[in-house]
Amino acid sequence: MADLALRQRVDDGVLTVTIDRPAAKNALSLAMRQEIERLCAEVDGRDDVDIMVLTAVDPVFCAGADVKEIARLGASLPPTNPGAALRAMAKPVLCSVNGTCVTGGLELALSCDLIVCSERASFADTHARLGVLPRWGMSALLPAAVGIRRAKEMTATGRFVGAEEALRIGLVNHVFGHDELAARTAALAQAIRAADPAAVRASLDLYDRGAGASRADALALEGDVAGRWVVDTTNFGAR
């Protein structure tokens, strides 16, 4: 993955994927997008990975797709959707945003189950400024995170939302000091690993499948899934 400007390592069941292309604001080339899709497709079947963390090298998180490459390749560019690949994973995905997170980069973050960020992070949707429409899920994911009126404002104006505002409006789960971001992200990942992995995956899937459904339909879905769930009572004695 080094040649693709993506680095990966596995520590204690956590696969950390780091975007490493700072000279291009960590923009994702076609090869990088395809590699993220490939990696997401294989993670659920890996015994050495319980959770995936997506992050980047400083000073930015991700500027989205490489627009210079898109302009150069034009119609010959094959379609990619790393956001959909992230959302398709059954194992939890944690996004650790170290800096500016823009447009396609924001779609990647929103496609993860949880988002934590550095105090230096900022977020923006600049699709409209570029004269393009989102393709990796922004129109569904951003309103679900911050509400439709805030989402409309962010998209229509392209304004940047700082870390503290992002926390206040529900865009991120936590804001950490920049120098402690990696350690706090790792601790959160291990807290997730401490729970029953099958129950975590099933619970997150219930939230995703119930999003946008009526309360009655969401409750019916929960009842159906829970009714077929086999309870492992060996864990109860530790409570």
SS in 3 state form for 122-156? EEECCHHHHCCCCCCCHHHHHHHHHCHHHHHHHHH
Min mean pLDDT across 69-78, 81-90, 152-161, 171-180 is at: 69-78
Q: How many CA atoms lie within 13 A of 129 on its CB side?
A: 12
Q: Are 104 and 63 in contact (CB under 8 A)?
A: yes
Look at residues 62, 46, 49 and name the one whose alpha carbon lies nearest to residue 95: 62
> What DSSP designation does 29 have?
P
**Cα 224 from Cα 209, distance rounded (Å):** 13
Is 131's pLDDT higher than 80?
yes
Residue with the larger pLDDT of the pair 10 and 229? 10
Q: What is the pLDDT of residue 239?
A: 36
Min mean pLDDT across 18-27, 36-45, 226-235 is at: 226-235
Q: Are 8 and 44 in contact (CB under 8 A)?
A: no
Q: What percent of the chain has pLDDT over 70?
A: 95
Q: What is the pLDDT of residue 230?
A: 77
Q: Are 96 and 116 in contact (CB under 8 A)?
A: yes
Q: What is the pLDDT of residue 73?
A: 85
Q: What is the pLDDT of residues 14-26, one digit of tens each?
A: 999 999 999 999 9
Single pTM value for the model: 0.93
In which element (H, E) is residue 189 found? helix 181-193
**Cα 8 from Cα 103, distance rounded (Å):** 23
Look at residues 130, 131, 79, 137 and name the one whose alpha carbon lies nearest to residue 106: 137
